[in-house]
Amino acid sequence: MSKSETLLSLLDGQKVIPVLQIAEVSHAVPLARALVRGGLPMIEITLRTAGALEAITRVAAEVKEAIVGAGTILDARQFDEAARAGSKFIVSPGVTPGLLAAAKDSAVPLLPGAITPAEIMLAREAGLTFLKFFPAEQAGGLAFLKALASPFGDIRFCPTGGVNVRNAGDYLALPNVACVGGSWIAPHDLVEAGRWDTIEMLAREASALAKG
C-alpha cells in the first residue's frame, strides 16, 4: 500500500477534515472529543500557535478514537517534530524536495499542497497521488479542479481554503475530490467559549453533508 493509499485509508470514508488552530492547549482534548462524538475523528491541528505540538501530543495520548494530524508543516524539521509529537499524518500548504525527502524516510504519510501542474507532477513523481489543493477558492476553486481531472486522472485532492458549509457539497461532488478541509466546524469563538456541544452538532452536520 502506498502512503497516499494509507492516508486515504485513515479517512475511512470521512469527507470533512476539521482544520484547527488551537490557542489554548487545554482546549485540545475536549475539542477532539467533541469532534469524535460528532463523527469526525480525523482532525488536523495546524502549527500556527505556540502550543500546537503539545496539543497534538495530548490528543494522541488522551483521545484514542481521534486520528490527529499536523498542518501548516513548512520544512523537514517541523515534519520530524510533528511526527514525534504523535501525528498520524502531516499536512503541508505546499510541496518541496525537502519535505518529500522527510516523508520518504518516515512512516507518517504526507498530504502536501499542490495547485499548479508542475507541483502536482513533482508530488506524483514522488509517488504521492492524494494531494491538498490550497488555497482552493483563491486558486480557481471548482473550475480549476475540474480542469485538472483530465490530465491528472490518478490524482485525488483535499481542497481547503475558502471551503465552508455552503460550498463543501459542491467540492465533494467532484470525482477527483476525496475530502475537504475547513475551519467552520470549530470556529474560534466557540472553541474559546468551550461550546463543545455546539461544535459536536456542527461536526454532525458536516458528516451529514458529506453523506448527502
Give me the active site residues, please.
Answer: 44, 132
Q: How many residues does the chain have?
A: 212
CB distance 158 to 133 below 8 Å = yes
Q: Which DSSP helix (H) or strand (E) runs through 53?
A: helix 52-62
C-alpha cell at 182: 475547513
Closest by CA position to 171, among listed 200, 135, 128: 135
Residue 204 host element (H or E): helix 196-211
